[in-house]
A and B are shown apart, each in its own frame.
Chain A
Amino acid sequence: MNGLQGITPTTPRLAVRHLSTSFPSEQGLVQSVADVSFTIAPGRTTALVGESGSGKSVTSLTLMRLLAKSANARVQGETAFVTRSGRTVDLLTLPEREMRTLRGNELAMIFQEPMTSLNPVFTVGEQIAESVRLHKRLDRAAALAHAKRMLDLVEIPAAAQRLHEYPHQLSGGMRQRVMIALAMACDPTLLIADEPTTALDVTIQAQILVLMRRLQAETGMSILFITHNLGVVAHHADDVVVMYAGRVVEAAPVRPLFASPAHPYTQGLLACLPGKSHAAGQPRPKRLFAIRGQVSSPLAPPPGCAFEPRCDQAIPACAQAVPPLADSGESRQARCIRVPSLERNAA
């Protein structure tokens, strides 16, 4: 429970406010993330949901300050991250040296493709030990012993032997377990998981999700879970942030979000799932609901709401200005002037 020290349950582990990330390109400025705000409660999981190009991965890389220097990203906004000791820091402005200490000691990240995230020429044990030695100042033997405990923690069978194996000798599911062991080695308070099960088969995905849930219950860490899989969201998130074209379009606790999605994009996303098209035992409908058209180019965003060109509920005002993200109910927010509870304010 050390992850919960110095923080009350009502203070978010991380609050992100008005985060924007843009990249200069030959064709002009690409606004990948625009005015993104959300919070992650201690010990809870916030899912960041969206399709390709929605800005969910850029959001996480911006928070971790892992965007390539050569990308010349322009970042605006602020964050409030509460450390284990109770200090509040802004991840965006922290000096690089302090940020490096924070990554690994407080912040950890796992990625979609464990094969490209692990170094192919070092053994699994060496890679975990290296990170432990950097962040915990242990000697080589103690670090290797710690690495073995980590492999045990993520339920890798015959951990003592696996320690000396290379990534290519492991299956996809085992590699993702190693990635999680690497992330857990320094006991993070916030784990950012970017599509951690997308490359895995469904029976292996189930193993990894159960493992992540167990580790969260044991350590009290918060998880930012980035995914496009709404089934995974429904079962593993406490709160959901839906992104579209770089902006948050809706944020809500998981149950109300699925029960009554407020934003037309969220409504469409849930309605077009083949698994939700008909109740068990009922005949399937002839056509699935489909959101028409496609996401507009980030180089030529529409002047108003980014979803307006695809939205069945759009009115002329939707094309005039970007709607604000506004409170739309208890612990809920939506960025749409057509949401009934928001329509009155707009009028």
Chain B
Amino acid sequence: MSDAATPLIEVKNLRRYFGSSDKPVRAVDDVSFAIRAGETLGLVGESGSGKSTIGRTVLRLIERTGGQVLYRGDDLGALSAERMRRLRSKLQIIFQDPYASLNPKMRISAILDEALATHGLAKGRRKERIAELLELVGLRPEHASRFPHEFSGGQRQRIGIARALAVEPEFIVADEPLSALDVSIQAQVINLLAELRERLSLTMLFISHDLDVVEYLCDRVVVLYLGRVMEVSTTAELFARPLHPYTQALLAASPKPDPLDKTEIIPLKGDIPSPMNPPSGCVFRTRCPHAIEACAQAIPPLADKGAGRLSACIRDDLITA
């Protein structure tokens, strides 16, 4: 089914609505992107942009409303529960909050053992594997007998990473894995993720609101706003020359850690609209400094703006070379 040209993960017209069918919350609306094997794709956006919902829908932790998620060309949504369960060892997730995602009553050995048992590793080999995993994430084998509360936030996130890696996945969704951590600990975990990604040839969907981290860790970036894709680009091009007005505003609003950087921040007006009642046409038009009448008429397609860069904006006249 798969060859070198097939992306490892392909998301096609993904939709996830919540609530009543007459006025649903459109958390994810018509989202498409692909992730090549070995690539780290960043998913950025503010609250309500749908980034976490996409991460969970891709892994079928929540079911989609429409569209497809292809893994090596196979539609995950069409798989039986049994086949999906077996496939889960290839598809794992790291959660944001290392305090909430580890069972406080279980020792670390039990937390990791559960993951190994679920995916069928023989009992005799598990103890050895647990020690291996702890060393892989920079902890010590003797940590296995401790409980989550005995660890700091950074160490807990290492345990969360060890649990995801226990079953030798190919693909990892990392859902804001750094945002609960202090800056100095963040750098340690960023280095760990980068190192493991290389050693284990992992493919990653990296969900974050922190643009600096995304710029450092990701190969390509998908920018979301109110459940829709605004722009897709390689990281270098996105940060050097953002095309979509929302990406431009997002980058401009994020203060650089440099007091000599005199880029004046002109904040966007207003709030993010309700996903229950999104604006007609372009969902960003109500806050866009460049909106014209035509922006309210039709949803702008995610179109190629040259050199493989995709942007969902009709104001091509604003693009300068």
Contact = CB atoms under 8 A, between A and B. Distances in A.
Interface of A: 51-52, 171-174, 201-207, 209-210, 228-236, 254-255, 258, 268-270, 272-277, 280-281, 284, 286-292, 294-295
B19 interface: no
Contact of A203 (B183, B187, B217, B268): B268
B267 A258 contact: no
A232 B155 CA distance: 27
Most buried by A among B209, B252, B253: B253
20 contacts: A171-B271, A171-B272, A201-B47, A201-B209, A202-B211, A203-B249, A204-B271, A207-B268, A229-B255, A231-B256, A234-B257, A255-B259, A269-B184, A273-B187, A274-B215, A275-B212, A276-B258, A288-B187, A290-B184, A294-B154
Given A206-B267, A275-B212, A277-B216, A294 B257 contact: no
A206 B268 CA distance: 8
Given A201-B209, A274-B216, A288-B191, A258 B265 contact: no
B122 interface: no
B131 interface: no
Given A206-B265, A235-B256, A291-B184, 20 more contacts: A51-B183, A51-B184, A201-B46, A201-B47, A202-B46, A202-B209, A203-B287, A206-B267, A230-B183, A230-B257, A269-B184, A272-B183, A272-B187, A273-B257, A274-B215, A288-B190, A290-B184, A290-B191, A291-B187, A294-B155
Nearest to A280: B240
A289 B190 CA distance: 10
Contacts of B184: 51, 268-269, 272, 290-291
Given A202-B209, A206-B268, A274 B190 contact: yes
Interface of B: 46-47, 152-155, 182-188, 190-191, 194-195, 209, 211-213, 215-217, 239-240, 249-250, 252-261, 265, 267-268, 271-272, 287
Contact of B267 (A207, A231, A286, A287): A207
Contact of A258 (B152, B190, B258): B258
Contacts, number: 129
Contacts of B186: 272
B255 A235 contact: yes
A210 B182 CA distance: 25
Contact of A210 (B153, B211, B265, B272): B265
Most buried by B among A52, A233, A236, A268: A52
Chain B interface secondary structure, helix, strand, loop or mixed? helix
A61 B46 CA distance: 31
A294 B152 contact: yes
Which 7 pairs of residues, A with B, have the shortest CB-CB distance?
A: A275-B212, A272-B187, A231-B255, A274-B216, A201-B46, A51-B182, A290-B187
A296 B287 CA distance: 46
Contact of B254 (A173, A202, A258, A273): A202
B129 to A, nearest CB: 26
